[in-house]
Structure 1
């Protein structure tokens, strides 16, 4: 049935929350619902430092415990305010290793009002790996989750998760063991990483997925040092040689001298050097093809685990784009028509479209009308802002730039000089031209269908006799005006052909 103009149907709201009691921070993340692409409703962390000095004293610090319990009581109230009944509480290395950990967990359960799952090292590694499976498209490599108290390493191949290993190499643990000396930490890290030989031996030529707040902070500083234009952590990738040079700088200099260090909390800055030491040793031993920063970890792994098998198999990028389409498009069914409509045209072009290019094109169709409520003069720029800054997963930064460009071209025209040089460089030559192609298709589709569903199936566009041809049925011949003809010719120029409109 055709959707009414202006009607939007969003997903049902069924919120849930996860409280993560880590060695360095205690965090609450509330989500709008359980889905393949969960959207955070609320996110708050308190840096308590529960794992500080646990390895030398064997106990959780009393002040850290007080701060953690206060945070948990606050989180309990926040969940009540948000009317969240499903709350999952996880505890990791600090509570696991301290002799007064059981007493703390009992007090913590009373404070937060929910049972706490104390994760074993292997379970923590498994959930971290599932978080990467949830957040990356067809991941292939080794996941490393660096917390305050421990490091977990586990192999991932698609949706398959290998056996993980855990080591006491978190930032707080190394700071404790070395008396505050990153130089001494190198020897400890090398010795412990021998236990991870099965994981590191498989890393060569594959991706290393870096999980954890300290490594995300290092990535943020790396972006600042490179004047990198897209301030999104998830999917940010670095070549190992470039990363090693940067890590050596972090280990040598005072953290206060690093560019953009103000973006890192003061409590985390002393841990940067230890995170650099651990990552440097992993890169030297494992020799990965790239380092990929993941914003998805234990919490997202738990959410993924809660999904049914069919939902797990869904593409997270397309799931998120579908939700945005349902919330923002004039007629969400039009995007589904666009996917089939562009499928036919692309199949007639010379040269194959890769599977990843196909999923990106489908995502561009789903996002093609998210800017329609903006002022006409700003729809292109508004769409770029939404897409480049959206909390998408299952996409790297070149793919994100492609999506932004494709929808921008839809509004502003497909002339190459119209594009942002920053986004053009980020997308790369191949994806830039694919974005122009999709933009050209969208520029034909919208003035012929007015963005409404169930129209495009009667207006096929294809290639015939060496031309791009839009076919219009005779009872709709009034649609075939000069504006549409100019758009078809514009699409033809993108693929190097003439264009015409044919009434049949």
Structure 2
């Protein structure tokens, strides 16, 4: 086992994450981790891309907490990545400066395509060689990657995520069939633009889901005895009527046995995943416990 520690900090649209790892043979071993829901994307004023004061406070407080957590370890290398919300806030120089000061580290704002590449690297690390489709639904963007082994052949980033779609179509704390259909139609338009019909992969790909929405759906599938934890198209179809039968989104925690912290972004994430399954002809998806942060660490290890 290597004693060298590597840290990856992922500043997402809905939550901020820190993971500290070391390499053990061909595996990555987690030494410490930290996660906080900051709802950064929902705190951005869409008219002028400025952060509302309460969202700014949440973000800076969390970054300071991550800085203190990181200081408890002797980490050799650290990489900090800002994703979709930071891409939106790129021109907000005051916030970026304050965020870097609170964290004590520079923040690398990556493109959607770079985010997708790193996600694929992390999600497929240590897996057997095969043709794969990796789907990562974040709070503010969705990354879809097709590749073989560790090589990506197609990587796209859709400007929609579980938090942003939920905010756009389920604002009244209600889920109706009409709203769900409209949300899916929006996702379909983005998919057809990013991946034309002639580029839709054949069905021989091994589909892998990563990050919060995939994990939440996996939990729901298992809790409702729809699968052993894998996401299936038939399972998604059986979940749909449960969504628009609840009186309000808060009730999803009871109906789906879902973590209450995930309920308000679940409808958007569900709509995205359902449309991805339909458009890309996916029937079955396994879940990866690795994604962007692990990809960042794998790349640091490869360049060491």
TM tier, smaller: 0.7 to 0.9
Name the structure 2 match of 1:143: 134
How does 1:10-409 map onto structure 2 within 5 Å?
Answer: 11-33=1-23, 36-52=26-42, 54=44, 56-57=46-47, 58-98=49-89, 101-178=92-169, 180=171, 181-198=179-196, 201-226=200-225, 236-250=229-243, 252-253=245-246, 254-261=251-258, 264=259, 266-308=260-302
Task: Indicate how the Cα distance of structure 1 residues 85 and 157 shifts in structure 2: closer, same or farther if over 3 A, else same.
Answer: closer
Task: Indicate how the Cα distance of structure 1 residues 79 and 256 shifts in structure 2: closer, same or farther if over 3 A, else same.
Answer: closer
TM-score computed with the length of structure 2 as normaliser: 0.86
Deviation at 1:250, TM superposition (A): 3.8
Task: Indicate how the Cα distance of structure 1 residues 27 and 251 shifts in structure 2: closer, same or farther if over 3 A, else same.
Answer: farther
Q: Name the SS of the counterpart of 1:226 in structure 2.
A: coil
Root-mean-square deviation over aligned CA pairs: 2.5
TM-score computed with the length of structure 1 as normaliser: 0.53
Q: Name the SS of the counterpart of 2:253 in structure 1.
A: helix
Distance in 2 between the 1:15 and 1:111 partners? 22
Distance in 2 between the 1:287 and 1:149 partners? 24
Distance in 2 between the 1:252 and 1:280 partners? 18
Unaligned runs of 5+ in 2: 172-178
Deviates more, 1:18-27 or 1:52-61: 52-61
Distance in 1 between the 2:235 and 2:45 partners? 33
Which is bigger in relative contact order (C-alpha 8 A, separation at least 6)?
A: 2
Partners of 1:147 and 1:212 within 8 A in 2: yes
Deviation at 1:139, TM superposition (A): 4.1
Q: Name the SS of the counterpart of 2:81 in structure 1.
A: strand
Per residue, is there more strand in 1 or in 2? 2
State the number of aligned residues.
291
Q: Which has the larger radius of gyration?
A: 1
Distance in 1 between the 2:102 and 2:24 partners? 25
How does 1:440-455 map onto structure 2 within 5 Å?
Answer: none
Partners of 1:16 and 1:34 within 8 A in 2: no
